[in-house]
Structure 1
Amino acid sequence: MRIFKKLIWGIVGLLLVLAIIIAIGIFLLSPTYSGEMELSQLNNKVDVYYDNYGIPHIYAQEEEDAYRSLGYVHAQDRLWQMELMRRIAAGKLSQVFGEDLVNTDKFFLSLGIDDASQKTVDQLDLNAPMVRLSQAYLDGINQFMDNGPTPVEFYLTGIEKRHFTTKDIYNTVGYMAFSFAMAHKTDPLLTNIKNKLGKEYLNDLQIDVDSNTTRIRNNKPSLRDTLRNQVAEMVHHVLNKLPLPQFEGSNSWVIAPLKTKNGKVILANDPHIGFAQPAVWYEAHLSTPNYEKYGYHLAGVPFPLLGHDRKLAYGITMFENDDIDFYYEEENPSDPSSYKTPTGWAKYEVVTKTIKVKDGEDVSFSYKKTAHGPILNGILEEVSGDRPIAMSWIYTKLENKVLDALYEITHAQNLSEFQVALPKIHAPGLNLMYGDAVGNIAWFAAAKLYKMPDSTHTKFILDGSTGKDEPLGYLDFSENPMAINPPWNYVYSANNQPDSIAGMLYPGYYLPENRAKRIVKLLEPKDDWTSEDVEKMLMDGVSDINAEIVTDLAKLMDVSQLNKSQITALDKISSWKGENEIDSIAPTIYHRWIYALLKNTFEDELGPEMFQQLLSTHLHKRMIAPMAKKENSIWWDDINTSDTVESKANRVNHAFKSALMSLESDFGTKKMNWSWGRVHTLEHEHPIGQIKALRSFFNVGPFPIGATREVINNMAFGYNETGKYSVTSGPSTRRVIDFSDIEHSTSILPTGQSGNPFSKHYEDQAKMFNRGEFRKMMMNKAEIISTKRSLLTLSPQK
């Protein structure tokens, strides 16, 4: 008994010591939201009022003080996130995570973002307002690094803190520009399919822009090789290892006064980005006598990509235009240091880089560059073969004015000043959505677009030696898609294909029309929109397209070959209207059926590896609905059955039975156990949360979640053999800006404002986000002061 008591007291003592350590850790490592603090280089005192969700409302006498304070408070909540963001383009992830990230570092170094950032920084005017504000923001970050508590992730990974520089800002923006990498996933894959199977197999893959799809309307006012070249495989592997989210898509719409109940503009925006912890955006409200902005900031970037004030509001979605091309280069057989150009042989440029690896030796590697860009062969082991493939990316080719554009956007006072800033965005391609207090609405596709020869198809690897596949020239910004105050009284973007102003359909990697069609269907008939209506619309999880697909497929089902349970399931899904509630079983059946149909239809020709690559592109999303309507296709036949030619009906029936068998195997025969929430879950993963023992501390979730992919409330996931759909990306925020009551505009974050796991704001919005709730974005100073959670006063250093 004594031994037992000693054991109990020993355990109690251990738990007590552990509790004390945790309490001390929380006290020492938590962000400082109240009290007084001195910052060097401040000219005047700055008051930072924190609201109930940890959003800082920064009141300063001048703008540089506001941005210096922003840098400090941003860093104390998101320094770890800033650290990772700046490391991607610079090829420095291996220093943190070890040899598993060496290939990822090689890939990003070969993109040339880091070199392009250095070139841009070397040419900056240090006295320009954009540069001064950026430096003030960096000063704030660096003062926190020097004087604030070190985030726990730095201790766990053993990395040292290092001051931030302007180059780090450009590297973070460069990673954003790379974003969804659809060209890397798509172009080599399509080239491989053409070379392996023949051109006829491309006809049903929806690789071209579509003249029949729902398109964003413009309104411009009068004012040959083997499969050894596996670029697609390489990108699939390296991007899966990234510890940070990628930009995916987004929705936005702006409603003109004639369609709103209160006669004022309403803007909605929910950029779709990979879910992670911490969440992507950091909210901050800056106010000075001459400047005010409530904005959403990327980690380490001073100017908000989303924002509003009392005069105007703006948001973004991804344009999805094609700004990356791949070229086969012809190497000189008698001189491997040179390659063929239209004017003769030219020497490769050889670039050598060194990667520092945690707990390992430095890795040095070299790659060649042509006039098009880096040669990808040999950078990673997946990319081999005799024919060199070069990558041409517009982001690293042209002068980088993206930060200048962001500065001007955030300081614009009206539509004209806003529009003037947009031609400075050459990449990434963005849809800029705009609304203002005087009733203007607008949509602009901002990117440096170029025209290719009519015979050139940019979704295949091009010929780099002859000059016949080179761009003919750049379009003027006036030829970009746009709509300004259209007579239909709304503008929208859902990453779908835009109409043309320039007499051409712009090549791109557009998402299917599903979300666009639903947005138009809901917006068009209603003329009394309120902010509450818009909030509800942002949570819409109905897929009209998926319901239509089921109708097309169900017509082909041979009921005589189904048992009673299968007929019940078919009846259930046949009456489905496309809703995706957590307790519904129809979406579970639908996605198992579609995955089985895709696998049975395409994997026999492509093989398992290329089939998985296809699933990682937008192509497979674009072709599901057309294939459901298409009676004849070369893909319907199973090449493994030489004695028969399978029909579409064969494929559809076999896929349906396979889907139901897999569900019964996983969840039993009781269909009530097939609910959507059992297979569709959301977990916000922290890079260190991959360690099992630390998962519950760093990760947020998992939660069963409703909606699905390619609905307005886009909870995206990839198809896989398990039939479990872990959500990978979705709304990174939901914002509703109502100019009839600007101080009561609303938003939400997926987890919380802080990336510090010891902060009370680490995950305080997660359940609200899942339930579709919103919170106020406060701008009224009196209300902010009276309802503040805390006040942090920053004073000039004495």
Structure 2
Amino acid sequence: MKKFKKVLIVLAVLLLVIIFGAFLFVSGLKPDYEGQKTLPGLQSETTVFFDTYGIPHIYSDNEADAFRALGYVHAQERLWQMELLRRVAKGGLSEVFGKDLIETDKFFLSLGIDDYTTETVSKLDMDSETIMLSNAYLDGVNEFIKEGPTPIEFYLTGLEKTSFSLEDVYNAVGYMAFSFAMAHKTDPLLTNIKNQLGEDYVNDLAVDSDTSTTWIKTFKNSGLDSIDVNITASVSRALEKLPVPQFIGSNSWVLAPEKTKSGKVILANDPHIGFAQPSVWYEAHMSTPSYEKYGYHFAGVPFPVLGHDRNLAFGLTMFENDDIDFYFEETHPSDSTKYKTEEGWKAYEFVNKNIKVKDGDDIAFTYKKTRHGPVLNNIAKEIKGERPIAMSWIYTQVKNQVVDALYGIGHAENMNEFEAELPKIHAPGLNVMYGDAAGNVAWWATAKLYQMPDSLSTKFVLDGTTGEQERLGYFDFSENPSAVNPPWNYVYSANNQPDSIAGMLYPGYYLPENRAMRIVQLLDSKNDWDKESTSEMILDVTSTVNPALVTELIKLLDVTHLSEEQLVQIDALKNWNGEYTLENTNAVLYHRCEYYVLKNTFEDELGPEQFNQFLSTHLLKRHIAKGTGMSSGKWWDNVHTTDKIETRDDIVLKSFADAWQSLINDFGTDFSQWTWDRVHTLEHQHPIGSVASLRSFFNVGPYPVKGTKEVINNMAFPYDSTGFYKVNSGPSTRRIIDFSDIENSISILPTGQSGNPFSKHYKDQAELFVNGEFRKMMMNRQEIESKAESILTFSKE
């Protein structure tokens, strides 16, 4: 018995030792928010005040030291995110996650971002302010890598920490430039539809923006071979496995003094990006005698992409312009190393890459390039047929000055200096939104726009052999869409079509008018906006378009086929105001019906795989309103039925019946249970959270959330057969900058400032975000010091 007690005591002691050791281990993995550290290269003491939400307020006597401190604190919160992001362009994800990411690595290697970065960095002026401050930032990142604790993800994946370089900064910007891959999802699919089904089917789609919809107003003071082209499927799979979020869309508006109660400018911005954990932006406030900025930073990039100070503020949305074109090439009949051009046969360039694979052998990967870009046939295995297809992307074909532009706009002191930096942004295409304390408001579409031959649609795969479908030249930046201090006293963007500029409409993958219409409706309705009313508007969950679609669809229902219960719900739908609150039942019935209308319209011609690809495009979003209003068209008939030709009325009636039955199957016949909160949820997913046992530790949520796709509070989701709408993208932050009270401007992050799951700031904003709440962006030093939760000081060695 005594021996048994001794064994129990020994086991208890061992358990305590293990628990204590685990506690010490976990404590050692947390970020340091207080104390004193030395930082190599520092010229003067630099102090970081962390506020209640872990936002660093960095004070230093010079910019280089401030950026060194920024690099350190950014890395201690987001090193894992930085690591993944720099690996995307280099094809390094398989080394972390194994063979499932090989296709993703091949795709991103073929984009040529990494090779383009190498060329760009080799030509940099290392003595420029941009590079000197970038290197100072990297010094801070690398000091944390050397001396700081290793994030838990590195232990779980067995990955070694390695230092960061300028190449990593430019590769991160290159991934941002790739953004949303809408051309890859759309152009090959449209080419398939034209080749397989014919021009009539294409003509019945909303390929181009409708001229009757809401466009962004500008203001200035002054014939191919039939081939199975299924790039779309490969790209979709590659992007589904991508462990970092993609840029999607965004809202922004800037109100001139004439539109505000205070007579001062207000800027609102909520960039729409894929939800993930950690979220995209790292907030930091930096102050030196020569520079101050409250900025939002992309992982591994020193200069803020969104920001403000006491003089000016800027935000962004995606322009959605078309900067990727696909070309059919023709290989020489007897020499497979050559391809056809209008000047004769040219030699393919062969690019050799090596992909490291976790728990597997390295993979040697080779692809061909033409004058247009990489040939996708060896990359996207779904491309069947012998004819090569090459991708031409503007990002890798023009001098790269994007990092210089970010430095420049962050250091601009007025509108003229700010605007002078914008031509340096050639990709991604951005709507840059601007407001300042002097009362100026402006919007510029920044991209290297180019002209194509008349009547040539870049939404289809082009002929690369004749020289007749090549770019004719670039537009000067002055011809880009823009509006500076327009007479209607505001500027806005909701990723919709901008009005004509230089006598033409620029092609793109613009989103439908839904959000734009609501923004214009609200902004036009009043001239006394303030911070509070603007914060209510940025949370708006009303669709002005969907109730109109409901009205149109209900007209087509033959009520003699409906039960009494169905008629009650139809009557409720008729009176729906388009709001997407958690308790709403009309929204659930509408989206079930809409999905089945799409499925019953398109799936018979496209097949299940291409139908699902179609659902992921902006083209589909634009088509919903157009298609609903089409009384006749090629798509309505079900090609699988031979005894009749289906009409729009037939499809709508069948779709309502399918939706009704699916809701009964899911929620029963108590219609009060068909509420939006049961189907519309948000979970912020960490790459390692895909492991079931680790999900609750790494992921944040799920939460039922208000809003839906294409309302101002754009909580977007993909349609699929489940009928449950898992939100995958939305506001990556909500910011409201009020120049009448700049030190009390407000914002919020979707989860928290930290990417370290052991930090208390890992998810301390998540419920605030879901509930539509905000927090201050402090800029007053006295207030910052008095309310600081902790202080971290960096000193010279």
Which residue of structure 2 aligns with residue 783 of structure 1? 783
Equivalent in the alignment of 1:618: 618
> How far apart in 2 are the matches of 1:488 and 1:18?
67
1:240-279 alignment runs, 5 A limit: 240-279=240-279
Query: 1:10 Cα deviation (Å)?
Result: 11
Aligned to 1:528: 528
* Matches for 1:298-697 after TM superposition, within 5 Å: 298-697=298-697
| Alpha-carbon distance, 1:26 to partner | 3.0
Q: 1:256 and 1:666, CA in 2 relative to 1: closer, same or farther beyond 3 A?
A: same
Displacement of 1:456 after TM fit? 1.3
1:667-712 Cα shifts (integer Å, max 9, x gaps) = 1111122111111100000000000000000000001111100000
* 1:59 has 2:59 as partner: yes
Change (3 A) 1:337 1:742: same
Q: Offset at 1:647? A: 1.0
CA contact (8 A) 1:209 1:505 kept: no
RMSD: 1.7
* Per-residue deviation, 1:204: 2.2
2:751 matched to 1:758? no
Residue deviations 1:369-413 (CA, integer Å, cap 9, x gap): 000000000123223421100000000011100001111000000
Are the counterparts in 1 of residues 453 and 471 from structure 2 also a CA contact under 8 Å? yes
Moved more, 73-82 or 225-234: 225-234
| Contact 1:733/1:750 (8 A) holds in 2 | yes
| 1:208-234 Cα distance to aligned partner (Å, 9 max, x none) | 133222100011122x34453311111
Kindly report which structure 2 residues correspond to 1:173-184, keeping only aligned pairs within 5 A, or say none.
173-184=173-184
Q: Which amino acid aligns with 1:528?
A: D
Q: Is the 8 A contact 1:44 1:796 kept in 2?
A: yes
**Cα distance change of structure 1 residues 455 and 5 upon mapping to structure 2, 3 Å threshold:** farther
Q: How far, CA to CA, are the matches of 1:147 and 1:382 in structure 2?
A: 47
Distance in structure 2 (CA, Å) of the matches to 1:777 and 1:504: 41
3-state DSSP of counterpart to 2:352: strand
Corresponding letter in the other structure for 1:582: L
Alpha-carbon distance in 2 for matches of 1:12, 1:734: 50
The runs of at least 4 consecutive aligned structure 1 residues that moved more than 6 Å come to: 1-15
CA contact (8 A) 2:45 2:60 kept: yes
Unaligned runs of 5+ in 1: none
Shift of 1:475: 0.3
Q: Is the Cα contact below 8 Å between 1:273 and 1:729 reproduced in 2?
A: yes
- CA deviations on 1:695-739 (whole Å, 9 max, x unpaired) are 000000001111100000000000000111100000000000000
C-alpha distance in structure 2 between counterparts of 1:645 and 1:521, whole Å: 41
Aligned-partner residue type, residue 516 of structure 1: A
**Conservation of the 8 A alpha-carbon contact between 1:378 and 1:384:** no
CA distance in 1, matches of 2:196, 2:7: 68
Task: Tell me, in whole angstroms, the C-alpha distance in 2 between the residues paired with 1:4 and 1:486.
Answer: 86
The letter for the 1-side match of 2:385 is G
The letter for the 2-side match of 1:734 is R
Which letter maps to 2:369? K
Work out the CA distance in 1 between the residues paired with 2:2 and 2:707. 57
Measure how far apart 1:525 and its partner are.
1.6
Looking at structure 2, the residues matched to 10 and 380 of structure 1 have their Cα atoms a distance apart, in angstroms, of 60
Native 8 Å contact 1:328 1:461 kept in 2: yes
Give the direction of change, closer, same or farther, for the CA distance of 1:611–1:21 in structure 2 (3 Å limit). Answer: farther
- 1:101 is displaced (CA, Å) by 0.5
SS of the residue corresponding to residue 471 of structure 1 reads coil
Tell me, in whole angstroms, the C-alpha distance in 1 between the residues paired with 2:3 and 2:669: 51
Aligned-partner Cα distance in 2 for 1:15–1:292: 51
Structure 2 Cα separation of the partners of residues 14 and 628 of structure 1:
69
Moved more, 339-348 or 200-209: 200-209
Name the amino acid aligned to 1:645.
I
Report deviation, 1:7: 13
Instruction: Say if 1:15 and 1:552 are closer, same or farther in 2 by CA, change over 3 A.
Output: farther
Percent of aligned pairs sharing the same letter: 62
Q: Distance in 1 between matches of 2:263 and 2:632?
A: 51
Provide the secondary structure at the position in 2 that maps to 1:544: coil
Q: What is the correspondence of 1:129-140 to structure 2 with a 5 Å cutoff? A: 129-140=129-140
Q: Which range moved further: 551-560 or 308-317?
A: 551-560
Structure 2 unpaired stretches of 5+: none
State whether residues 331 and 388 of structure 1, in contact with CA within 8 Å, keep that contact through their aligned partners in structure 2: yes
Measured after TM superposition, the shift of residue 641 of structure 1 is 1.2
Q: More deviation in 480-489 or 2-11?
A: 2-11
Distance 1:8 1:610, change over 3 A: farther
Give the CA deviation at 1:629.
1.4
Contact kept? 1:89, 1:175, Cα under 8 Å: yes
Change over 3 Å in CA distance of 1:17–1:612 after alignment to 2: farther
Q: Distance in 1 between matches of 2:16 and 2:517?
A: 58
- How much has 1:268 moved relative to structure 2? 0.2
- 1:741 and 2:771 aligned: no
Distance 1:628 1:548 in 2: 10
Which residue in 2 is equivalent to 1:720? 720
CA spacing shift, 1:230–1:330, aligned 2, 3 Å: same
Residues 22 and 249 of structure 1, relative CA distance in 2, 3 Å threshold:
farther
1:209, 1:507 within 8 Å by CA — same for their partners in 2? no
The residue matched to 1:769 in structure 2 has which SS?
Answer: helix
| 1:24-66, Cα deviation, whole Å (9 max, x unpaired) | 2331000000000000000000000000000000000000000
2:213 aligns to what? 213
Q: Identify the residue that residue 698 of structure 1 maps to in structure 2.
A: 698
Which amino acid counterpart does residue 389 of structure 1 have in structure 2?
I
Instruction: Tell me the alpha carbon deviations over residues 3-37 of structure 1, each in whole angstroms, 9 at most, x when there is no partner.
Output: 99999999988986665355223310000000000
Matches of 1:157 and 1:150 in 2, distance apart?
12
Aligned equivalents of 1:221, 1:302: Cα separation in 2: 35
Task: For 1:45 and 1:479, locate their aligned partners in 2 and report how far apart those are by CA, in whole Å.
Answer: 47
* Partner amino acid, structure 2, of 1:28: G
Could you tell me whether the CA contact under 8 Å between 2:191 and 2:229 is conserved in 1? Answer: no
Amino acid at match of 1:165: S
| Per-residue deviation, 1:250 | 0.2
- Matched letter for residue 145 of structure 1: I
Alignment-mate amino acid for residue 87 of structure 1? R
| Amino acid paired to 2:178 | F
Q: Which secondary structure state, in structure 2, belongs to the residue aligned with residue 332 of structure 1?
A: coil
